[in-house]
Amino acid sequence: MPVAVVLKGYPRLSETFIAQEIHSLEKAGVDLEIVSLRHPTDPTTHPIHRDIKAPVLYLPEYLHREPLRVIRGWRAARKRPGYRAARALWIRDLKRDLSINRIRRFGQALVLATEARSSTSLMYAHFLHTPASVTRYAATVRGIPWSFSAHAKDIWTTPDWEKHEKLADCAWGVTCTQTGFSHLKQLAPAGVRLRLLYHGLDTRRFSGPGLRHSQSDGVTPRREVNLLSVGRAVPKKGFDVLLAALASLPDEFHWRWQHVGGGDKLPALQRAAADLGLDKRISWLGPQPQEAVLSLYRESDVFILPSRIAAGGDRDGLPNVLMEAASQGLAIITSDLPGIAEFITPEKHGVLVSPDDAEALSDAIHRVGRNPELRAALGAAAKARVIQEFDHRDNIQPLISLIEDVAGAD
């Protein structure tokens, strides 16, 4: 089953769910080649990246930097029977999306169609926007089927006309929340193979630390409550709202917040924290490998992810960091977005607050922080749900079957 897995970037610290899937497919015997549209930018990798053995093909990130490679790809692709159909498809898309990015997609697709292994029988894209476009054009040139896994931003920021046409053209598609599935199902023509598959969590890599015994309640500095967030500093994560919530906590409540992640908004968040007089209570840890993040989960009292729907429609689906935190029995405070609510039942598996409501978020942090017994109950229930309903091993076999049906039949 030779499969090319097309990603926007590889490896990425923020996409552990993709690495988890690739590793599981490898262990199941799927013959993978990883294709990345961009080179890595993170300062380190997770242990799981070192376990993955598949070769990686990096496409030209910018066409003008590798013109000879693009020209070679174009000359080779023109000789294939599917080139005319792919070019017509791209021109039709370009008329509706006249952009440099759309031109880059076709150039990358020509290189992919030329340089991917000759034995490739399926091209499989993670994310329905740019990676799926490159995959679709390249697969058309090669005359082989393609498929996709859709997640969050790619679902909600891709135009409906493009989603409809990709759904009509793919061999199959999967997505990781019921909310995303319902949206795509409404756009899909009859007969399209579309399936809901939660990523789940590889609980073997996130074995629990046992019962949590923290009695921190914030009453004194020696009993300060350790708060943790893991996520990129981008608008949809809502960390500016969290800063406002932290600033409004009672003076007599003692806390410390640690943030893990990069992101282009990180300097602005750090300046905002300083302006609010919070910088001495905050540690900005930057991107961290999985083993370091796991230790932080185990050392913290409350996990906070104040996600929101950003301008343009970008939003979270079901962030894997919520399942990671839950696997360690960590109490969770997050937003009541539809995808998140598929995992967190309010006041049972965590506390949900309305997005952008700093006052409600502050109240939730104070209530949960002051109550160790509540934290323990929420954490235990969330951990049980991960193990019983969101174990990655239970969710990978349906994906393997989809791959076998297409790639194995080639």
pLDDT tens digits, 28-77: 999 999 999 999 999 899 999 999 999 999 999 999 999 999 999 999 99
Is the pTM higher than 0.75? The answer reads: yes
3-state helix, strand, coil in the chain (%, to 5): 50, 15, 35
Nearest CA to 333 out of 385, 294, 369 is that of 369
Assess whether 371 and 398 both reside in one domain.
Answer: no
Say if CB 398 and CB 197 are below 8 A apart.
yes
Phi, then psi, of 213 in degrees rounded to 5? -120, 15
Average confidence (pLDDT) over 175-204: 95
Q: What is the mean pLDDT of the chain?
A: 95
Per-residue model confidence as pLDDT tens digits over 9-39? 999 998 999 999 999 999 999 999 999 999 9
Domain count within the chain? 2
In this structure, the number of other CB atoms found within 10 A of the CB of residue 395 comes to: 20
Within-domain flag for 381: yes
- Whether residue 210 is contained in a domain is answered as no
Query: Does residue 374 register a pLDDT over 70?
Result: yes
Q: What pLDDT is attached to residue 272?
A: 97
> Would residue 212 count as lying in a domain?
no
Strands 225-230 and 255-260: parallel
Task: Tell me: do 233 and 337 sit in the same domain.
Answer: yes
Based on the fold, state whether residues 114 and 170 are members of the same structural domain.
yes
One domain, residues 259 and 371: yes
- Residue 231 pLDDT greater than 60, yes or no: yes
Residue 157 counted as domain residue: yes
Order of strands, sheet of 282-286, starting from the edge strand that comes earlier in the sequence:
282-286, 255-260, 225-230, 302-305, 331-335, 351-353
* 104 and 163 assigned to the same domain: yes
The pLDDT of residue 204 is 86
Region 103-124 average pLDDT: 97
Report if residue 207 sits inside a domain.
no
Residues 400 and 385 in one domain: no
> Rounded CA gap, 231 and 324, in Å?
12
Of 240, 227, 375, 376, give the one whose Cα is nearest residue 306: 240
Q: Percent of the chain beyond pLDDT 70?
A: 98
Q: What is the pLDDT of residues 240-250, one digit of tens each?
A: 999 999 999 99
Same domain, 74 and 178: yes
Same-domain pairing of 171 and 289: no
Q: Is there a domain that residue 282 lies in?
A: yes
Same domain, residue pair 174 and 232:
no
Identify the CATH number of the domain in which residue 59 sits.
3.40.50.2000
Enclosing domain of residue 57: 2-200+391-407
Question: Does the pLDDT value for residue 95 go beyond 90?
Answer: yes
* Inside any domain, residue 209: no
Shared domain for 248 and 136, answered yes or no, is: no
> What is residue 155's predicted lDDT score, i.e. its pLDDT?
97
The answer on pLDDT for 1 being more than 80 is no
Cα–Cα dist 403/167, whole Å: 17
**Considering only CA atoms, which of 340, 322, 320 is closest in space to residue 330?**
322
Give the pair of three-digit tokens for residue 181: 């599935």
Instruction: For residue 211, tell me if it sits in a domain.
Output: no
| Distance between CA atoms of residues 223 and 81, nearest Å | 70
Confidence at residue 179, expressed as pLDDT on a 0 to 100 scale: 95
Do 301 and 290 belong together in one domain? yes
Task: Say whether both 363 and 298 belong to one domain.
Answer: yes
